[in-house]
Amino acid sequence: MSPEHSILTPEEQAVVHEHTVLDRHRLMEQFHNLEQQTETALVGMWVFLATEVLFFGTLFISLAVYRYRDNAAFTTASEQLNWMIGGINTVVLLTSSLTMALAVHYSKLGNRRALVWYLLATGVLGLAFMGFKAREYYEDFEENLVPGTRFFDDAEWLERGPRTADNPTANLTPAQVPHVKQFLLLYWIMTGLHAFHVLIGIVVLFGLAALAKRGHYSPVYYTPVEVTGLYWHFVDLVWIFLFPMLYLVGLHNMSEIHF
């Protein structure tokens, strides 16, 4: 962006270079006004998120279709997952969404200290999520829930049947074992892709915190904070659906409560 496109006078630009806060809030020539410029950035992120909805949507519909085909196998496979870690991670992500919302809130009010603090808090909660995830994946490795040599040991799965009250010794049939593997593959693809999104978010959040500390954002210009907020809340949103659809499927088999 060359100086002649600036809406600021040379005197104002001198101020701008001292306080980088205002430097970024210049009108680019393709926009009518600053309001439109900001809205374009926001709508751009919403459009990206709309594509992400379909991206994750295809995975959720795969899960639905294959679960419909063999619910017993999917329930048995889901029982092997650690729903407690999934639950803790849900709380961690929801809390990080709160801190993100507060970061956007304080960037509007121009409270730079609070903005930096809440951006860092959000990033740290993201790291905590990844930590629990790592712990969970490690357990999955230990329990042979990962595609690998012993993953294809069908006999092991035949012993784990759908344990219902009516039939406590029920086992899966050999024909159902591939469906168990299918659930686990979907689990790895879906949580893996989600974790990848979280990682990207963490990098962006710490980058934003560094820029915020240097005074890049003000009540006049905080579009990057707001746009990152949209992305982060979306990542939270995906997890809101992943948690019940992956982790909670088999829980009712583990309890004695039946209607």
When the beta carbons of 41 and 146 are compared against other proteins, the nearer one is 41
Kindly state whether residue 59 participates in binding other proteins, applying the rule CB under 8 A.
no
Q: Which stretch binds other proteins (CB under 8 A): 41-49, 131-139, 141-149, 174-182?
A: 41-49
- Count, residues near other proteins per rule CB under 8 A: 59
* Residue 15 found at the interface with other proteins (CB under 8 A): no
> In 3D, which of 152, 138, 142 has the Cα closest to residue 185?
152
Cβ nearer to other proteins, comparing 48 with 151: 48
User: Does 201 help bind other proteins (rule: CB under 8 A)?
Assistant: no
* CA–CA distance, 247 with 83 (Å, rounded to integer): 5
Among 47, 170, 189, 203, binds other proteins (CB under 8 A): 47
Asked if 259 touches other proteins (CB under 8 A), the answer is yes
Assess 7 for contact with other proteins (CB under 8 A).
Answer: no
CA distances from 239 to 181, 234, 235, 242 (A): 22, 9, 7, 5
Indicate which single residue of 11, 32, 68, 155 sits in contact with other proteins (rule: CB under 8 A).
68
- Whose CA is closest to 175, among 78, 80, 70? 70
- Binding of residue 54 to other proteins (CB under 8 A): yes
* Inter-residue contact 96 to 80 (CB < 8 Å): no
By CB under 8 A, residue 168 contacts other proteins: no
What phi-psi label fits residue 49: left (phi over 0), alpha (psi between -120 and 50 degrees) or beta?
alpha
Question: What part of residues 69-128 is at the interface with other proteins (CB under 8 A)?
Answer: 69, 71, 83, 87, 90-91, 94-95, 97-98, 100-102, 104-105, 108-109
**Six-digit token string for 205:** 């959040």
- Long-range contacts at 160-163 (CB < 8 A, ≥ 24 apart): 160/76, 160/79, 160/80, 161/76, 162/72, 162/75, 162/76, 162/253, 163/79, 163/253, 163/254
Alpha-carbon distance 218 to 159, whole Å?
61
Quickly list DSSP for 8-42: S-HHHHHHHHHSHHHHT----TT-SSHHHHHHHHH
* 64: contact with other proteins by CB under 8 A: yes
153 near other proteins, rule: CB under 8 A: no
Stretch in the footprint of other proteins (CB under 8 A) among 66-74, 119-127, 134-142, 146-154: 66-74
| Options 14, 28, 43, 210; binder of other proteins; rule CB under 8 A | 43
Length of the chain (residues): 259
Q: Given the rule CB under 8 A, which residues bind other proteins?
A: 34-35, 38-39, 42-43, 46-47, 49-50, 53-54, 57-58, 61, 64-65, 68-69, 71, 83, 87, 90-91, 94-95, 97-98, 100-102, 104-105, 108-109, 219-221, 229-230, 233-234, 236-237, 240-241, 243-245, 248-249, 251-255, 257-259
